Structure 1
Amino acid sequence: MAVDVTWLGHSTVTVDVRTPRGALRVVTDPVLRRGLAHLRRRPRTPSAAASAGCDLALVSHLHHDHLDLPSLRRLRPAVLVTPPGSSDWVRWRLGRSAIQVVEVGIGQTREVRVRDQPVAVTALPAHHAGHRTGSGVSRAPVDAVAVEHLVRVPDAFPVREPDDLLLWAIGDTGEFEGSDAVLGAGGRAPDLALVPVGGWGHTLGPHHLDPRQAAELVARTRPAHSLPVHWGTLHPVALGRTMGDRFTAPGPAFVAHARRLGVPGAVDVGVGGRLRLDDAGVLLP
Structure 2
Amino acid sequence: MGVDVTWLGHSTVTVDVRGPQGRLRVVTDPVLRAGLGHLRRRPRTPAASAWAGCDLALVSHLHHDHLDLPSLRRLRPAVLVTPPGSSDWVRWRLGRPGTHVVEVAVGQTRELPVRGRAVAVTALPAHHAGHRTGSGLSRAPLDAVAVQHLVRVPGAFPERDPGDLLLWAVGDTGEFERSDEVLVAGGRAPDVALVPVGGWGHTLGPHHLDPRQAAELVARVRPGVSVPVHWGTLHPVALGRTMGDRFVEPGRRFVAEAASRGVVGAVQLPVGGSLTL
Give the TM bin, normalised by the shorter chain: over 0.9
CA distance in 2 between partners of 1:159 and 1:45 (Å):
36
SS at match of 2:5: strand
1:66 and 2:66 equivalent?
A: yes
Write the distance in 2 (CA, Å) between the matches of 1:138 and 1:249. 35
Instruction: Output aligned runs, 1:190-201, within 5 Å.
Output: 190-201=190-201
1:110 aligned partner: 110
Match of 2:240 in 1: 240
* Separation of aligned partners in 1, 2:217 and 2:137: 36
Pairwise CA distance, 1:18:
1.3
Whole-angstrom CA distance in 2 between matches of 1:120 and 1:190: 14
Question: Offset at 1:156?
Answer: 0.7
- 1:213 is aligned with what amino acid? Q
Q: In the alignment, what sits opposite 1:282?
A: none
For this pair of structures, how many residues does the alignment match? 277
The answer to whether structure 1 residue 189 and structure 2 residue 212 are counterparts is: no
| SS class of match (1:32) | coil
Whether 1:210 and 2:210 are equivalent positions in the alignment is yes
What runs of 5+ residues in structure 1 fail to find an aligned partner?
A: 278-285
Kindly indicate whether the alpha-carbon contact (under 8 Å) linking 2:168 and 2:192 is maintained by their aligned counterparts in 1: yes
Write the letter of the residue equivalent to 1:27.
V
> For each residue in 1:73-103, what CA deviation from the matched residue of structure 2 results, as whole angstroms up to 9, or x when unmatched?
0000000000100000000001243100011
2:142 alignment partner, SS class: coil
Contact 2:32-2:45 within 8 A present in 1 as well: yes
Alignment of 1:26-45 (within 5 A): 26-45=26-45
Match of 1:81 in 2: 81
In 2, Cα distance between the equivalents of 1:84 and 1:274? 30
Check whether the contact 2:76–2:96 (CA below 8 A) recurs between aligned residues.
no
Q: In terms of mean alpha carbon deviation, does 73-82 or 110-119 score higher?
A: 110-119
In structure 2, C-alpha distance between the alignment counterparts of 1:244 and 1:210, rounded to whole Å: 16
Say what the alpha-carbon RMSD is for the aligned residues. Answer: 0.7
CA distance in 2, matches of 1:86, 1:8: 25
Q: Which residue of 1 aligns with 2:272?
A: 272
Deviating beyond 3 angstroms after TM superposition, the runs of 4 or more aligned structure 1 residues are none
Unaligned runs of 5+ in 2: none
* TM-score between both structures, scaled by the size of structure 2: 0.99
| Distance in 2 between residues matched to 1:161 and 1:67, nearest whole Å | 35
**Percent identity between the aligned chains?**
82
- Counterparts of 1:202 and 1:266 in 2: how far apart (Å)? 25
